[in-house]
Amino acid sequence: MTGSKRNNTPTKTWMYMGRGAAVLLATSLGFGCQNNATKPEQGTSTAAKKPVVELPPFEAAATPERVADGAKLVETFECSRCHDGTELKPAPLNKHCVHCHQEIHAGTFDQADAATQAEWKANIIHLTRVPELAGTARFRRSWLATFLQAPHDLRPGLDAEMPRLKLEPAQAEAVAAFLVPAAEQTPEVDWAAADTRHGKLLLKHKGCMTCHKFSGAGELPAGELAVPVDEATLRQGTRMAPDLRFTRDRMRPSALLTWLQDPQKLKPTTLMPDFDLSPTQARDIAAFLLTTKLEAVDPPAIPERLPVLTRPVHYPEVEAKVFKKICWHCHSDPDYALGDGGPGNTGGFGFHPRYLNLASYEGISSGFVNDKGERESVFKKLPDGTPRVVAQMMARYAEVAGQPVDGLRGMPMGLPPMTLEEIQLVDTWISQGRPR
Ligand code: HEC
Ligand code: HEC
Ligand code: HEC
Ligand code: HEC
């Protein structure tokens, strides 16, 4: 689906030579492209077998005003509480979701003793690594603006996702301009000579699929890694490797070619190994990544919620298994957490304060502040009878499936959905009148 969007526009086919980014369109032979009504009109006899190049809109340099707006918005939306590398100073440790978790994992967090850190470490799973926002000029600005408004899972090995923030389209475009200020480069490459079958073979011979998935592209054997990769890099690299399905939308073709030949040139800290690919090998792999037919991939199913339990459920159980397991890390008690109640309480990530404290019975009972500035109960029944807080946890499943629910932000924000049993527990507790 991702790849087909672009093919909706009537295509003129070009042998790529001139300015602008190149998108390869597979022709009818072998690559099964949906839009093959237009046949290449090229002189060479092999032309029909070769991928043909379409010129998508060339991305010119962003205006300095836009870039400056974007820089401000990156600060307002506190991107540096999770991401490094934005050229802005990182959030302080007591607000930095990733740095604090990393320090605790490394045992270097100086505000707690070793035993406490060891105990915490065992509990911290999420937000210990997020992609660094360095070398972002490799992305297509248009993709970035879309992704920021409707983020989806890019890395199958990474459990946290980019949170769905409240960025207006113009704001997302400004942030994208800040991250991708430059004009697109023109790749000097003879796409017409590209051999996608060779590109596909190389993925196997170099062992690319050891770390990557390429969903919808059919069977691609893992092969054996062609360069030595130490165990730690392999583990983290597998976690951080994007699904190559999105690459054709994400990356500027010129940057893709550079990336394949020398990833560290674009992003010095990347875990992607340098395979020392030749320009020809890079071109063939790029041609395969850009043109191979992608089957539709079923999104994860949106489950039904479970019926309430018949056994009694009291607050300590819901607190331990839900609210204090996950929720209070963003909805905490500001008195406990040095004045910062987290983005879901005292505000953050560009959200106004909702003053929702999920760290105590009293906090939960006093609800949140809605858009009108009034206190609203999180237990309030929605028109279908579902208590709001339960609906919001179910809405996270819908978000993960790419179908966000209007007016209900999925919780926990940007993290895997709570299990159906955990949601059932909250549901049961509310249905029983929320006993202490
Ligand atoms: C709560 C933490 C968090 C915050 C805050 C956050 N992000 Fe992210 N972001 C993530 C995670 C996690 C991913 C990885 C998602 C994936 O790979 O599926 C991500 C991915 C991205 C990516 C894709 C990068 C790549 O290499 O694939 C971009 C771009 C991005 N975020 C930009 C932003 C911007 C801009 C902001 C601020 C407006 C922001 N993020 C705020 C957690 C966060
Ligand atoms: C000052 C350090 C610190 C900061 C800052 C911090 N955390 Fe944590 N976080 C912790 C500790 C410590 C734990 C483990 C607590 C425990 O064991 O009960 C934890 C646990 C978690 C958990 C539950 C365990 C897991 O991995 O699922 C989540 C979710 C979480 N944090 C999210 C966040 C988010 C989101 C932010 C940024 C808004 C954040 N944290 C900022 C220290 C921090
Ligand atoms: C050790 C694991 C590992 C191996 C092996 C590996 N990669 Fe990667 N690759 C990564 C990681 C991690 C990233 C994400 C880089 C980042 O954001 O820093 C990446 C990024 C990419 C990207 C950019 C995708 C995007 O949408 O952003 C492409 C293309 C790519 N790799 C192709 C390949 C090819 C081709 C091979 C084999 C020649 C290969 N990779 C082998 C880990 C790996
Ligand atoms: C990563 C941070 C984060 C985590 C974890 C998180 N929340 Fe939130 N939550 C927020 C933010 C930010 C808002 C404000 C959203 C807005 O203003 O639209 C919010 C708002 C809410 C609201 C108020 C209604 C609304 O949409 O504004 C409820 C209810 C809520 N969260 C419940 C939960 C529950 C239940 C959990 C645990 C299952 C949870 N949250 C975990 C960040 C988080």
Task: Give the residue among 264, 256, 138 at the shortest CA–CA distance from 194.
Answer: 256
Average pLDDT over residues 161-184: 97
pLDDT tens sequence across 276-303: 999 999 999 999 999 999 999 999 999 9
Q: Which ligand is nearest to the CA of 126?
A: 2
Nearest CA to ligand 2 atom 20: 124
Q: Which atom of ligand 1 is nearest to the CA of 414?
A: 1
Q: Which ligand is nearest to the CA of 130?
A: 1
Taking the centre of ligand 2 as the mean of its atom positions, its distance from the CA of residue 305, in whole angstroms, is 27
Candidates 319, 324, 356, 400: which one to mutate for ligand 4, based on the most atoms within 8 Å of Cβ? Answer: 356
pLDDT tens sequence across 226-252: 999 999 999 999 999 999 999 999 999
Give the pLDDT of residue 26.
38
Please, which residues have CB within 8 angstroms of residue 56's CB and are 6 or more apart in sequence?
6, 20, 21, 22, 23
Fill in the amino acid letter for 16: Y
Taking the centre of ligand 1 as the mean of its atom positions, its distance from the CA of residue 135, in whole angstroms, is 14
Query: pLDDT averaged over the chain?
Result: 88
Rounded Cα–Cα distance for residues 405 and 403 (Å) = 6
Average pLDDT over residues 7-34: 33
pLDDT for 46 beyond 90: no
* Lowest-pLDDT range of 62-71, 304-313, 337-346: 337-346
Give the pLDDT of residue 435.
98
Taking the centre of ligand 1 as the mean of its atom positions, its distance from the CA of residue 131, in whole angstroms, is 7
Rounded Cα–Cα distance for residues 25 and 311 (Å) = 59
Rounded Cα–Cα distance for residues 63 and 59 (Å) = 12
Give the pLDDT of residue 293.
93
Q: May I ask the CATH architecture of the domain 5-58+184-291? A: Orthogonal Bundle (1.10)
Nearest CA to ligand 4 atom 1: 413
287: Cβ below 6 Å to ligand 3? Answer: no
393: Cβ below 6 Å to ligand 4? Answer: yes
Helix (H) or strand (E) holding 337: none
Nearest CA to ligand 4 atom 12: 344
Nearest CA to ligand 4 atom 27: 354
Q: Which ligand is nearest to the CA of 109?
A: 2
Asked whether the beta carbons of 91 and 81 are under 8 A apart, the reply is yes
pLDDT for 2 beyond 50: no
Taking the centre of ligand 3 as the mean of its atom positions, its distance from the CA of residue 94, in whole angstroms, is 32
Fill in the amino acid letter for 328: W
Nearest CA to ligand 2 atom 32: 329
Q: Which ligand is nearest to the CA of 82?
A: 1
pLDDT tens sequence across 307-322: 999 999 999 999 999 9
Give the pLDDT of residue 89.
82
Task: Give the residue among 277, 268, 240 at the shortest CA–CA distance from 138.
Answer: 268
* Lowest-pLDDT range of 23-37, 126-140, 149-163, 353-367: 23-37
273: Cβ below 6 Å to ligand 3? Answer: yes
Helix (H) or strand (E) holding 261: helix 253-261
Give the pLDDT of residue 47.
41
Residue recorded with tokens 């946890």: 393
Give the pLDDT of residue 15.
27
pLDDT tens sequence across 72-96: 999 999 999 999 998 778 899 989 9
Rounded Cα–Cα distance for residues 149 and 210 (Å) = 31
Give the pLDDT of residue 337.
64
Nearest CA to ligand 1 atom 24: 131
pLDDT for 405 beyond 90: yes
This prediction has a pTM of 0.91
152 CB burial (10 A radius; 0-12, 13-18, 19+): middle
Percent of the chain at pLDDT > 70 equals: 86
| Pairing mode, strands 368-369 and 375-376 | antiparallel
DSSP E strands: which ranges in 166-320? none
Give the pLDDT of residue 134.
94
Taking the centre of ligand 3 as the mean of its atom positions, its distance from the CA of residue 295, in whole angstroms, is 21
423: Cβ below 6 Å to ligand 4? Answer: no
pLDDT tens sequence across 179-234: 999 999 888 888 889 999 999 999 999 999 999 999 999 999 999 999 999 999 99
> If pLDDT is split at 50, 70 and 90, which confidence band does 109 have?
very high
Domain with CATH 1.10.760 in the chain: 5-58+184-291
Rounded Cα–Cα distance for residues 107 and 325 (Å) = 21
> If pLDDT is split at 50, 70 and 90, which confidence band does 339 have?
low
> If pLDDT is split at 50, 70 and 90, which confidence band does 55 have?
low
178: Cβ below 6 Å to ligand 3? Answer: no
pLDDT tens sequence across 113-152: 999 999 999 999 999 999 999 999 999 999 999 999 999 9
